[in-house]
Structure 1
Amino acid sequence: MTRAELTEKIVAHKTFNDIKWKDVATAVGQSKEWVTAALMGQISLTKEQAIAAGNAMGLNFSDEELALLMTVPYRGSIATAVPTDPLIYRLYEVVAVYGTTMKALIEEEFGDGIMSAIDFTMDIQREENPAGDRVKIEMTGKFLPYKTF
């Protein structure tokens, strides 16, 4: 079994059994964003976390599957340079349109550097609005200044 095949198995089982990522996250003891990324193949789990996720989903992972969940992944979940999935494309579009603005404002506030995607948290929430519910995405990453040498 490959890691991609395991991801497909997890997603199919989740969908068929109407399991919510937030419920799995509660069982694992981490955020829904982190656990979802891990089960989608972008973050490695400890053996205990993988077993807790499997138990929460009603999946009895084999030793091979546990090992795949524990293996540090090759990161990057988008198969094409420009995403074709409409939701992912809209996030790409936000960066395409506002990326230089975000960069300018971050550099003005912090200086020359980057926002870490390793020392990072993300929170996705539904925000009710009379004009139509909103998607609220909050990303927090440690600022890493470029060093001179």
Structure 2
Amino acid sequence: MTPIMSKSDAADLVIAARVRRGLTWAEIADTIDAPVVWTTAALLGQHPMTSEQAQRVCALLELDDVVAESLRSQPSRGADSASMSDPTIYRFMEALAVYGPALKELIHEEFGDGIMSAINFKVDVARRLDPDGDRVVVTFDGKFLDYRW
């Protein structure tokens, strides 16, 4: 019996197939009727897909059942140290290092003692036109979870 393909190997095949077919992440997300950020994260190995989602994606990208099996498997979430030094990812870390304490204070002031869930969570990325250069708008939408004793 062969092991299940790793999430990173499956992601590499998905990326290659997507690029070679000239598809966007949004087009793939539309195929499975799921949010584009979630779909992209799932295809990069951060979420398990349902059987139907994995089958649709693999059909669209002409990938085999070995990839679909990996897409359905439970991930080990997180990022490797190499990706954390990527300039785009590093800027998110930098922004949270600068604004994280202020966001924490504002969340506590507005909601009380608790946290924003990253499990019951939505995220979106959009472009906002600006005469001084287009803006990246990232929206985090997490359920507030109050601490209970």
Relative contact order higher in (CA < 8 Å, ≥ 6 apart): 2
Determine what percentage of the aligned residue pairs are the same residue: 39
Q: Report the TM-score when normalising by structure 1.
A: 0.92
TM-score by length of 2: 0.92
Match of 1:135 in 2: 136
Q: Helix, strand or coil: the match of 1:130? A: coil
Structure-2 residue corresponding to 1:105? 106
Moved more, 99-108 or 15-24: 15-24
Which of the residues 65, 69, 72 maps onto 1:70? 72
Rounded Cα–Cα distance in structure 1 between residues aligned with 2:101 and 2:94: 12
**Partner deviation per Cα, 1:45-76 (whole Å, 9 max, x = no partner):** 001011112223x32322x3222111110000
Check the 8 A contact 2:58/2:67 in 1, yes or no.
no
Partners of 2:130 and 2:124 in 1: CA distance: 18
Structure 1: unaligned runs, 5 residues or longer: none
2:63 is aligned to 60
CA distance in 2, matches of 1:48, 1:139: 27
Alignment of 1:33-44 (within 5 A): 33-44=37-48
1:4 to 8, 20, 31: 8
**4+ residue runs over 4 A deviation:** none
SS in 1 for 2:29: helix
Q: CA deviation at 1:15?
A: 1.9
Letter of the structure 1 residue corresponding to residue 146 of structure 2: P
Structure 2 spans left out of the alignment, 5+ residues: none
Report what 1:88 is aligned to: 89
* 1:81 CA drift (Å): 9.0
RMSD (Å) for aligned C-alpha atoms: 1.5
For 2:82 and 2:116, how far apart are their aligned partners in 1?
21
Amino acid at match of 1:107: H
